Structure 1
Amino acid sequence: MRRKSVIIHTIAAVAAVTLASGCNPQASAGAAVSEPTGAGTPSGSASGPAPGSGSSDGKPGGSGAPSDAASPSAPATGVLMKDGTESEQVRELQARLKQLGHFKRSPTAFYGSITSTAVKAFQSGQGLPATGSVNDATWQKLLGLTREPTENELRPPTTNELDTPDPRCLTGRVLCISKESRTLAWMIDGKVVSAMDVRFGSENTPTREGLFSVEWKARKWTSTIYHTPMPYAMFFSRGQAVHYSADFAARGYAGASHGCVNVRDKAKLSALFDQVKTGDKVVVYW
């Protein structure tokens, strides 16, 4: 009986821990979190009664948003940047490729499939081996054909360009969230109704990827773990939620969340909050 009692108390303790969930802002350790969202220090928080807490930020780190300053493992010999690299040099690479018409979106500092395709196009046009990775020859050629990007080119104040929707976003009512373009598109039957910039969790607290649904909503909510405001929270996965982040609005991608999907445009999110219903789909993808 004593052993059975111990087991019951242990299970209860674990359950109590998992009931507290959240994803709050963390301060960046110097480097800015980028394209998918950063691994640096997260910011933006969320937490709800649902069990679990999640997180993510970008490919390198888990599931969802990468950090500008965090660079995964060192590239192979002779390679300066490649798929999975995350750094300010990648941001510059993207801005320079955009000057030449090869990169069609705002720089993110994360080297994903879109960047790889742009690099291949540049390499092919210059008679270089189209590897999709950047070595010194590719980098020097790019430097010679472009000028130093301005701050606005590196970090445009405008909304990020939308990614190609995941096939799961093409039917029904969906919050379609792309980690690569760092965007949220509110879609109904395959049509974009509204869109906004987002950021994700860090490498240590990644935003989960997959198909979910809006479990519950709270116009005003405070993280039960981090005790910070999470206005217009729409919870979709064990404590992870889409919500407004004052930190994201102030610091941009120089931070990350503890797993939630942060939105920086409060007016857009407020309008979206009123449209989204419990049960609507949520798709988080690369």
Structure 2
Amino acid sequence: MLENLSSQPLSLSYGKMHFYYLLKRKHFFANSSNNKVRKKFWGREDLKKVLLFLLPLCLVTVSFFYVKASTYDNKGRKYYEEAGQILWEIQTEEKIIALTFDDGPHRTYTADVLDVLDKYQAKATFFIVGQNAEKNPELISRMYDEGHELANHTYTHPLKTNVSNLMKEIDQTNATLYSITGFKPTLFRPVEGQFSDAMIDAIAKEGYKVVMWSWHLDTLDWKSPGVNRIVNTVLKGVKAGNIVLFHDGGGNRAQTVKALEQILPELEKQGYRFVTVSELLEVQMAHKKMEKNSSVESLLSTLLFMVLSLYVKVILTIF
């Protein structure tokens, strides 16, 4: 057995040797006629020594697996949602949804989208490309004045970029929107929904929140798939708390406009209310606050029950 231990790390070998030594001594004293010696060896103090020896080994083992799990834990949707850095949708029973539009404003199609939204008194969030905003400042003003939410979608809509350049694009778009409306957005959507851990960290440090969309509600309207397909994607998939992705810029969006004419009245009939992303976040915060209060109340109730149970047990024991 000692030969096998020679290939083990020093700390591990020492632990095995010590444990082997204890086993040998136990065997010796178990066969001894001297009960006093046996009782002395396995007395309370010796048991404490054994436990004190094993405890550090257990702690080291647990710590090793914890550090290993933490080190190789890849960031994903769950991580970012719990950190509050990225939003895809919210969990709620309230029939509210957020309509979002990317890549605008476009002189023709954004104006048409705004007309449809106004017709059904629906609010939306527009993820704006900065250079398009500079070309159509009147549309930005109209969005803002009509109660829609302005959000950031970079300045030039680059398909690939580094973190440093991305932050410059975000700042430039915010500066443009501020010069037109006096409002600086705090919501950002990455181009094509692509992001990296470094990108999210940099954006979060500047106080922005990244907004994606409910994956099943990407209308793919930028492909011009047909009005019916856009309509069916939304009506068949929508659920309370969802975020829908449309486009009002970047190409011919006539199908999007026509689809909205069917989608909005139908969802209105189903009892849905159209809110901005920030309003969606407010509902989420309210739900979290209620859940937290509920958890505290549950804990207090449990503690009270335990105290009362102990009190009753003591009373019964005495009497």
Task: Return the index of the structure with the highest Cα Rg.
Answer: 2
- Give the TM-score taking structure 1 as reference length: 0.24
Structure with the larger helix share: 2
Higher strand share: 1
User: Which structure would you say has the larger RCO, counting Cα contacts within 8 Å and 6 or more residues apart?
Assistant: 1
